[in-house]
Structure 1
């Protein structure tokens, strides 16, 4: 039950972030719903394709789809009210979604006896794949790969679950709290990975 609550928080956060970006890009109402749904469920869909879970498994998450649709509707109808709360709690909710979905993706892969590499990929795609698809559809550079340390925390989740460092519920919840804390620290203190740029010499 606790894990479902965390996944619901992540679903709401991802759906709202997709809806906001669609509205910033001046998409119509259909575009807002599509981008919100893709952000919330796109990572899980790609993960299922890569690790051999039927994509139709997504349609069994009826409650999560309803919650995502309600979140998008509220964002579209009351953008200013939602934005006020989003600026305060949005990054924390996003951190919860990243941690919960990354661990969830890693557990999916380990339960199917996939190797460590597949577990890490499943964690990264489930935790941050939706955001990457969202940014690409909005014709933006994926922030996950450029501006912030984000996918790294999903990789840590994949390693921890794939190497069976965290097995019991207590260990998994400890990992979850650690990932949320690291994600918030990376946001607050603006941690960045090293960047190397290549500039063409002037002719």
Structure 2
């Protein structure tokens, strides 16, 4: 049950995120749907490639594609009612998508008996891969590559799940909530990872 619920939460959150960014960049309706779908499913596609699962497995998620399409359609039809709240809640939805997909990606890798590194990579890429593709297609610097703490939370979810600390749906939902809160705190209080800027002569 946790798998399906987290997949649905992540799909809706990232589809909305991609669609709104597409409209901010003044993309046409095709671009809005494309960016919304890529954001929702891009991370899973990259994860599947790296851990040896056929990318075609994504097409088996018919219900998730329907959820994404419905979410994007609502955003496209009622943008003015949603863009205001999005300016206040956009990072919140992004945090939900990151957390839900990170947990889901880690569960996917554990189910395939992957080693801890593979589980971490699956969590990171599922949680942030779609957002990276979204930002690149929108001509923006990918959020995950900035000093701001983002993918680290997905990696932590992957580690906890891979070492078998998470054993029940209730604990998985607790982990999802904890990662979401940590992500919200990190952008609210501007937590940063160490970074260094150099200038070449």
Normalised to the residue count of structure 2, the TM-score between the two structures is: 0.92
Q: Please, which runs of 5 or more residues in structure 1 have no aligned partner?
A: none
| Number of residue pairs aligned between Structure 1 and Structure 2 | 201
SS in 1 for 2:113: coil
Residues 51-81 of structure 1 deviation map (CA, whole Å, 9 limit, x = unaligned): 1222222112111111111211222222111
2:103 is equivalent to residue 96 of structure 1 = no
Query: d(CA) in 2 for partners of 1:169 and 1:27?
Result: 39
SS in 1 for 2:66: helix
Indicate if the aligned counterparts of 1:148 and 1:192 stay in contact, CA closer than 8 A: yes
User: Cα distance, 1:128 vs. partner?
Assistant: 0.5
User: Cα distance, 1:121 vs. partner?
Assistant: 0.5
Indicate if the aligned counterparts of 1:9 and 1:93 stay in contact, CA closer than 8 A: no
User: Cα distance, 1:8 vs. partner?
Assistant: 2.1
Query: d(CA) in 1 for partners of 2:45 and 2:154?
Result: 17
Q: Please, which runs of 5 or more residues in structure 2 have no aligned partner?
A: none
Query: 1:19 maps to what in 2?
Result: 19
Query: d(CA) in 2 for partners of 1:21 and 1:96?
Result: 16
CA root-mean-square deviation: 1.7
Query: d(CA) in 2 for partners of 1:172 and 1:182?
Result: 15
Query: 1:10 maps to what in 2?
Result: 10
Normalised to the residue count of structure 1, the TM-score between the two structures is: 0.91
User: Cα distance, 1:185 vs. partner?
Assistant: 0.7
Query: d(CA) in 1 for partners of 2:13 and 2:173?
Result: 20
Query: 1:167 maps to what in 2?
Result: 167
2:63 is equivalent to residue 63 of structure 1 = yes
Query: 2:28 maps to what in 1?
Result: 28
Query: 2:148 maps to what in 1?
Result: 148
Query: 1:48 maps to what in 2?
Result: 48
Query: 2:180 maps to what in 1?
Result: 180
Indicate if the aligned counterparts of 1:106 and 1:122 stay in contact, CA closer than 8 A: yes
Q: Give every structure 1 segment of 4 or more consecutive aligned residues whose post-TM-superposition deviation is greater than 4 Å.
A: none
Query: d(CA) in 2 for partners of 1:94 and 1:142?
Result: 13
Deviates more, 1:188-197 or 1:39-48: 188-197
Query: 1:113 maps to what in 2?
Result: 113
